[in-house]
Amino acid sequence: MTTYNGTPGRVTPVGRDQTRVKGTCYEGGIHVPLLVLGPDIYPGEREGLAASVDLPATLLELTGLDPGEASPTNSVSLVAPLGSSEAPTRAAIYAESPSARVLHTAKAKQWVGEEGDQVFRILRDRREHKLLSPEEAPALHTELRAAYDALRGS
């Protein structure tokens, strides 16, 4: 089971920024809980990255069917991460809105949009308030931009 992704601005909880919820690439707009129950599912919460596009490959593997051509090419099965607290998840996810494109890794998020490249450290700044300049984190900027360009094929 997965949930609806985000809250529209008009019903944003008090104290939350209405410009950082549903319809945006901020965590309030793209962070969606996923609940999975069943045999061989390791109990507990996972912090790894997954995307709704991963559901076809996961369901096909759980049912024992060969994904073949039926699963989207970028769908990654979550069976291994669901069966263990140690199994890795995907390295990055991609999201976009009308005003931005985002590469999200476990440790950081890079925005490419109207205001240029922006980088946030997700682990330390879940609400994305502190922008990291290229001078503060040059290696992280370079790493994220290279991964973004590889993903987009540019």
**For the segment 49-76, what is each residue's pLDDT rounded down to a tens digit?**
888 888 888 888 888 887 666 666 778 8
pLDDT of residue 53: 85
Q: What number of H helices and E strands is found in the chain?
A: 4, 4
Q: Are residues 144 and 78 in the same domain?
A: no
Residues 65 and 136 in one domain: no
Tokens representing 145 are 């931009």
Residue 8 is predicted with a pLDDT of 61
For residue 2, what pLDDT is reported?
A: 66
Tell me the backbone φ, ψ of residue 109, rounded to 5 degrees: -135, 130
DSSP string, 94-122: EEEETTEEEEEESSEEEEEETTEEEEEET
Q: Which domain holds residue 57?
A: 52-83
* H or E stretch covering 120: strand 116-121
Both 58 and 29 in one domain: the answer is: no
What pLDDT is attached to residue 143?
A: 93
139, part of any domain = yes
3-class SS of residue 101: strand
Residue 40 belongs to a domain? no
* 24 and 97 belong to one structural domain: yes
- Claim to verify: residue 26 and residue 102 sit in the same structural domain: yes
Is residue 38 assigned to a domain? no
Residue 16 domain flag: yes
Q: What is the residue type of 116?
A: G
Domain total in the chain: 2
Cα–Cα distance for residue pair 23/29, rounded to 1 Å: 6
Residue ranges for the chain with pLDDT beneath 50: none
